[in-house]
């Protein structure tokens, strides 16, 4: 296998790959040409991801597997389901999207994950982990119900196998005796370092050569013994399986287990998959792969090369000095966590496999005995925190907004219902740019504020994030602080931590007639629009409890209340304001600005804000449009002050 050391800046020559417009073309090749196709595919993948940025290591690790599956199975008639989807780029290249790869993760371009609307080969839309076995089982049962002779394959990584959902699906598949194949792609590396007993169990596979040698050699020796050694051979094999292979685990669950085999050896991989294709009942093929395979820097640093930014050409002229950006919000969280842990020995940090992404690396090193990475197990993470809180610890859960959805029942039943002292640092709130709707934190304000006992905060900048994290930590009960991906406006961060008054916002600008209530990091857009409109602006800070006194004061002094949030309008912070004004019987115009009632597609964060009308210009135009509507209703002489509240929230 070729080992690449640099990402090609020019499109490589790939004559075999160029001839493959669909898997049908791939299947037309002789099997012995697949290794050459794999080399070309890996080199083209390096080139295309270098142009666009995106998920990197996972795709390099499944080049051979992708080819083998499409070569053996009659896709798209046979269903191929990818888990998480980080590894889908080779699949997209093979399935007719090679020349569109330059648009990966860009507005109106290819999605960074499998997407049903994009191709018939993307059989299941995905972005969250541990869904593939359930989805593939559903497809297998649908085929059985309809009498169709199709096969389904689920590809799942060892990291995703730690989720309870995967084992629920395995158990059900065995119960149904479904005709399906689960490929366990064991690369010993999820995004972060794998944690947990299951990973330790899988690590025994590295002794599998010993197992196979003893197994085959023992059989040869025992076969020469007089009498009938069959029973003895069988017992020896079972003992060996139980000692050094995960076969026992999956076979006890009802799957026929094959493996482990080298997932990069096409000479072994293809015939194995071919032999398993027509086997009846649930099958599990365990393959060993290497994340970043074939690219030396990625093999050496699989975490660092999980995803990359696009490679920019070297400038011919010196770049202009740009404004120094502030730290990422995840670092603000990580610094706060370490500072607070140094003060309070009862603080413990919990994350479901989001340690690096949430800024917890330093904490995990400085406070090893107080750091718990529970792997991809969001439900367990929350109930674990609940149990710790019951017995006097102060758990802080670092979790992405979109993944907190997976632990929603536990949030309600195990934490909020018991009013337990758990603090949530909710990262990736709002739009997440190139990762698109599967990873967007579009709903957290809506699904959090309806839960009794919850304290919900939306800071506007880096310093406010630090102080509100401390405020939530000091609060006796469940508290959530949501903040976006990336960097903030560059606010000066105060080292001293102070608890802010709960439920109190701050008026940032005094104007006339229009008041903009900003929840979260869209405050700069609110301020810019307010300058043009001479509007008042309030940094609300708290979604629950809402600063009712401030809202009513502004409502009494202004004719139009505008709410602004990077969250779904439905049920969000703006809805809380509407409810208050209705309850208080205030006659004032209302305009709710936020994410529309649709899934916003991928693109850069700034582009997506523009599409949703949440940049400064969009906010300004939306308010102007509302004023134009009022003029049309009440006559050309109307001013903003003429709005009487008869119109409903936009």
Q: What is the DSSP string of 128-150?
A: SSS-HHHHHHHHHHHHHHHT---
Whether 163 contacts 376, CB under 8 Å: yes
Rounded average pLDDT over 65-79: 97
Distances (CA, A) of 517 to 441, 482, 514: 20, 17, 10
Burial of 554 (0-12, 13-18, 19+ CB in 10 A): buried
Phi, psi of 598 (to 5 degrees): -160, 160
Measuring CA to CA, which residue among 174, 162, 86 is closest to residue 128? 86
The pLDDT assigned to 332 comes to 97
Q: Is 561 helix (H, G, I), strand (E, B) or coil?
A: strand
The pLDDT assigned to 210 comes to 45
User: What is the phi-psi region of residue 177: left when phi exceeds 0, alpha when psi lies from -120 to 50, beta otherwise?
Assistant: left
Residue 633 pLDDT exceeds 90: no
| pLDDT > 90 fraction of the chain, expressed in percent and rounded | 68
Residue 129 pLDDT exceeds 50: yes
Pairing of strands 536-539, 558-568: unpaired
The pLDDT assigned to 159 comes to 81
Distances (CA, A) of 356 to 48, 234, 461, 556: 26, 46, 21, 47
The pLDDT assigned to 232 comes to 57
Whether 12 contacts 43, CB under 8 Å: yes
Whether 459 contacts 481, CB under 8 Å: yes
The pLDDT assigned to 373 comes to 94
Secondary-structure percent of the chain, ordered helix, strand, coil, rounded to 5: 45, 15, 40
Q: For 157-161, 274-278, 350-354, 566-570, which range has the lowest pLDDT when averaged over its residues?
A: 157-161
Measured CA to CA, the distance from residue 73 to residue 91 in angstroms comes to 13
172 is written with which tokens?
Answer: 């059900």
12 is written with which tokens?
Answer: 């490589």
The pLDDT assigned to 648 comes to 35
Rounded average pLDDT over 314-330: 67
Phi, psi of 26 (to 5 degrees): -60, -40
The pLDDT assigned to 612 comes to 95
Biggest CA pair distance of the chain: 109
Residue 563 neighbours by CB under 8 Å, 6+ apart:
516, 517, 519, 573, 574, 577, 590, 591, 592, 593, 594
Distances (CA, A) of 595 to 145, 605, 647: 40, 13, 20
Measured CA to CA, the distance from residue 203 to residue 206 in angstroms comes to 6
Measured CA to CA, the distance from residue 411 to residue 383 in angstroms comes to 8
Distances (CA, A) of 77 to 15, 27, 246, 269, 587: 27, 14, 31, 21, 60
Measured CA to CA, the distance from residue 481 to residue 479 in angstroms comes to 7
Q: Residue 481, Cβ neighbours under 10 Å: how many?
A: 27
pLDDT band at 317 (very low <50, low <70, confident <90, very high): low
Q: For 100-104, 235-239, 328-332, which range has the lowest pLDDT when averaged over its residues?
A: 235-239
Rounded average pLDDT over 153-171: 87
Measured CA to CA, the distance from residue 66 to residue 38 in angstroms comes to 9
148 is written with which tokens?
Answer: 């169709």
Measured CA to CA, the distance from residue 66 to residue 94 in angstroms comes to 8
- Sign (positive/negative) of CA torsion 379, 381, 384, 388? negative
Measured CA to CA, the distance from residue 563 to residue 619 in angstroms comes to 10
The pLDDT assigned to 217 comes to 57
Residues classed as catalytic:
291, 378, 406
pLDDT band at 165 (very low <50, low <70, confident <90, very high): confident
Measured CA to CA, the distance from residue 262 to residue 291 in angstroms comes to 13
Phi, psi of 451 (to 5 degrees): -95, 125
The pLDDT assigned to 208 comes to 41
Pseudo-torsion of CA 536, 539, 540, 541, nearest 10°? 180
Residue 650 pLDDT exceeds 90: no
Measured CA to CA, the distance from residue 617 to residue 373 in angstroms comes to 42
Terminal C-alpha separation, the chain: 59
pLDDT band at 635 (very low <50, low <70, confident <90, very high): low
Measured CA to CA, the distance from residue 595 to residue 617 in angstroms comes to 15
| CA-only gyration radius of the chain, Å | 28
The pLDDT assigned to 180 comes to 95
Question: Is the previous residue joined to 260 through a cis bond, with omega within 30 degrees of 0?
Answer: yes
The pLDDT assigned to 280 comes to 92
Greater confidence, 51 or 477?
477
Burial of 200 (0-12, 13-18, 19+ CB in 10 A): exposed
What b/e string do you get for 369-401 counting C-beta neighbours within 10 Å, with b at 16 or more? Answer: ebbbbbbbbbbbbbbbbbebbeeebbbbbbbbb
The pLDDT assigned to 36 comes to 96
Pairing of strands 423-427, 455-457: unpaired
pTM of the model: 0.81
Residue 238 pLDDT exceeds 80: no
Residue 234 pLDDT exceeds 90: no
Q: For 58-62, 71-75, 387-391, 563-567, which range has the lowest pLDDT when averaged over its residues?
A: 58-62
The pLDDT assigned to 235 comes to 58
Rounded average pLDDT over 464-474: 98
Residue 85 pLDDT exceeds 80: yes
Residue 514 neighbours by CB under 8 Å, 6+ apart:
530, 533, 534, 535, 536, 558, 559, 560, 562, 623, 640
The pLDDT assigned to 206 comes to 38
Greater confidence, 321 or 447?
447
Residue 190 pLDDT exceeds 50: no
Whether 406 contacts 367, CB under 8 Å: no
| pLDDT > 70 fraction of the chain, expressed in percent and rounded | 85
The pLDDT assigned to 375 comes to 86
Residue 644 pLDDT exceeds 50: no
Residue 213 pLDDT exceeds 60: no
pLDDT band at 300 (very low <50, low <70, confident <90, very high): confident
Whether 479 contacts 424, CB under 8 Å: yes
Q: Please give the mean pLDDT across all residues of the chain.
A: 87
Question: How confident is the model over 493-528, as pLDDT tens digits?
Answer: 999 999 999 999 999 999 999 999 999 999 999 999
Measured CA to CA, the distance from residue 244 to residue 286 in angstroms comes to 14
Question: How confident is the model over 323-335, as pLDDT tens digits?
Answer: 567 799 999 999 9
- Sign (positive/negative) of CA torsion 435, 436, 438, 439? positive
Measured CA to CA, the distance from residue 614 to residue 564 in angstroms comes to 8
Phi, psi of 399 (to 5 degrees): -155, 145
């Amino acid at each position: 296998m070729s080992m690449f050391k640099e990402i090609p800046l020019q499109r490589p020559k790939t004559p075999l790959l160029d001839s493959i417009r669909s898997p049908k073309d791939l299947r037309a090749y002789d099997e012995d040409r697949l290794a050459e196709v794999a080399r070309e595919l890996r080199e083209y993948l390096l080139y295309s991801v270098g142009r666009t940025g995106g998920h990197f290591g996972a795709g390099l690790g499944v080049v051979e597997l992708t080819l083998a599956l499409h070569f053996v199975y009659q896709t798209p008639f046979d269903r191929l389901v990818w888990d998480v989807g980080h590894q889908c780029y080779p699949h997209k290249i093979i399935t007719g999207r090679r020349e569109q790869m330059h648009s990966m993760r860009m507005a109106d371009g290819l999605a960074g994950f499998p997407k049903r609307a994009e191709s018939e080969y993307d059989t299941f839309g995905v972005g969250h982990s541990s869904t593939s076995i359930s989805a593939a089982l559903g497809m297998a049962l649908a085929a059985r119900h309809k009498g169709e002779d199709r096969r389904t394959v689920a590809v799942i990584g060892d990291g995703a196998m730690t989720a309870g959902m995967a084992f629920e699906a395995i158990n059900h598949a065995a119960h149904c005796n479904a005709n399906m194949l689960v490929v366990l792609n064991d690369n010993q590396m999820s995004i972060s370092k794998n944690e947990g007993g299951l990973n330790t169990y899988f690590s025994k596979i590295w002794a599998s050569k010993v197992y196979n040698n003893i197994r085959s050699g023992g059989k040869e020796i025992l076969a020469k013994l007089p009498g009938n050694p069959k029973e003895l051979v069988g017992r020896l094999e079972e003992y060996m399986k139980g000692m050094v292979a995960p076969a026992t685990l999956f076979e006890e669950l009802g799957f026929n287990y094959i493996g482990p085999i080298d997932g990069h050896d096409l000479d072994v991989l293809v015939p194995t998959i071919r032999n398993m294709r027509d086997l009846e009942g649930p099958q599990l093929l365990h393959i060993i792969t290497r994340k970043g395979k074939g690219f030396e820097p990625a093999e050496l640093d699989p975490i660092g090369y999980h995803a990359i930014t696009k490679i920019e050409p070297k400038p011919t002229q010196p770049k202009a000095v740009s404004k120094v950006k502030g730290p990422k919000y995840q670092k603000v969280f990580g610094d706060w966590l370490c500072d607070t842990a140094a003060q309070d020995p009862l603080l413990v940090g919990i994350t479901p496999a989001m340690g690096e992404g949430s800024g917890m690396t330093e904490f995990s090193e400085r406070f090893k005995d107080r750091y718990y990475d529970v792997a991809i197990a969001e439900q367990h993470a929350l109930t674990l925190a609940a149990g710790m809180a019951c017995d006097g610890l102060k758990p802080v859960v670092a979790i992405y907004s979109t993944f907190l959805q997976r632990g929603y029942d536990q949030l309600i039943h195990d934490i909020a219902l018991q009013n337990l002292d758990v603090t949530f640092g909710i990262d990736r709130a709002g739009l997440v740019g190139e990762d698109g709707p599967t990873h967007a934190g579009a709903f957290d304000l809506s699904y959090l504020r309806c839960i009794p006992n919850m304290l919900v905060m939306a800071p506007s900048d880096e310093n406010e994030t630090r102080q509100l994290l401390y405020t939530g930590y000091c609060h006796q009960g469940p508290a959530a602080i949501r903040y976006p991906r990336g960097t903030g406006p560059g606010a000066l961060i105060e080292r001293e931590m102070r608890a802010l008054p709960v439920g109190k916002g701050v008026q940032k600008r005094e104007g006339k007639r229009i008041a903009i209530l900003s929840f979260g990091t869209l405050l700069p857009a609110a301020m810019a629009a307010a300058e043009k409109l001479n509007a008042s602006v309030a940094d609300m800070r708290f979604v629950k409890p809402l600063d009712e006194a401030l809202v009513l004061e502004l409502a009494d002094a202004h004719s139009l209340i505008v709410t602004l949030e990077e969250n779904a309008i439905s049920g969000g912070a703006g809805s809380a304001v509407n409810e208050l004004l209705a309850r208080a019987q205030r006659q004032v115009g209302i305009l709710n600005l936020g994410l529309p009632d649709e899934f916003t597609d991928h693109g850069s964060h700034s582009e997506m804000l523009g599409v949703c009308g949440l940049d400064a210009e969009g906010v300004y135009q939306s308010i102007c449009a509302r004023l134009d509507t009022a003029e049309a209703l009440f006559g050309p002489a109307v001013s903003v002050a003429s709005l009487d509240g008869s119109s409903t929230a936009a």
